Structures are given as C-alpha cells and as structure tokens.
Amino acid sequence: AVGTEKGHARWPRIADPANCGGARPVEERAGKLNRHDEAYMQGAIDEFIDVDILPFGDLLSREPMWDLVHIDVQGWEAKLCAGCVESLNRRVRWLVIGTHSRLIDGEVIGVLHDAGWVLENEKPTRFTFDPDKSSLELMTEVDGVQVWRNPRLS
C-alpha cells in the first residue's frame, strides 16, 4: 500500500483480486473504522491481511525526475497529494489522478491549485445523490480523472 507515512494497513482479502479494482486498505483507530471505511465495506468484508505502507515521498525519491505519475488510490488521492506536494513540485512533470467522489475532485483541485499546478483536463466524477447512502463515494456512478501539469518542470 502507498500512504503519506510508513506503517501498516489492513487490506481486504478478496476471492478474485483481478476483478476488484476498488479495493483499498482500511483505517482503524481505537478498534473502530472511520465512517468512510465503514461505508466502503458495508459489512461485506470480514477478513483482512496486514500490509506494509510505503510512504509516497519515499517512492517519489527513487528517481530524480518523473515524467508522469498516475495516482488512483480509492479515495486517498487528496491526502496523498497534500502530504507530498513538495516532492511532487520538485520531481513530477505531469499527474493523472483518478477520483472517486465529487468531494475528492474538489479537494485535489484545492491542493494542486494552491501548489501552483495547472489543471489541463478534467472529467468530474459522475454521481447521483441518494440520501439513503452513507457517503458520497457510494453515490458515485463513474470515477473522475484529472490531468495536471507542473509549470516549474514543463
């Protein structure tokens, strides 16, 4: 798993991982899931494996320069970008980011715009509002994508 800092995560054990692109580690604090992970799981997953978390900054530091980095981490995109924005600014020319809710679309735009990146293309997340669903991610019908250019390196 990739995260903002080194650690461990609980990854869902899935019978057919090839057909589950939406899998992600879950965060648990004080024995309780956060509300986003609780909604994501919906009680469907009850078995996990422990995985190491590789800090995104450590991964970026493996090369002096990256032409393109694709980020699609099932809901943690803004958190990853915010936690490594200085490394992204110094080492990455282009970002392609998959998003999974309208909230995440906006959070990523806020982080990268504030850091001086240029949004070259966007397909916002498509969703249908449903008050019976417990999170915006569960209302998502089609994931979004954003293409960003780093003007310092292009």
- Residue 126: closest CA among 112, 110, 105, 147: 105
Profile the chain (154 residues) by mean pLDDT over runs of 10 residues. 81 64 55 47 63 90 97 88 96 96 95 98 95 84 96 92
- Segment 5-37, tens digit of pLDDT: 888 777 777 666 655 555 556 655 444 444 445
Q: Would the pTM of this model clear 0.75, i.e. be above it?
A: yes
- Distance between CA atoms of residues 21 and 87, nearest Å: 27
- Distance between CA atoms of residues 96 and 67, nearest Å: 11
- Residue 25 has a pLDDT of 60
- Residue 38 has a pLDDT of 46
- Residue 3 has a pLDDT of 83
Burial pattern 42-72, b for ≥16 Cβ within 10 A else e, equals eeebeeeeeeeeebbbeebeeeeebeebebb
- Residue 9 has a pLDDT of 76
- Residue 33 has a pLDDT of 46
- Residue 34 has a pLDDT of 45
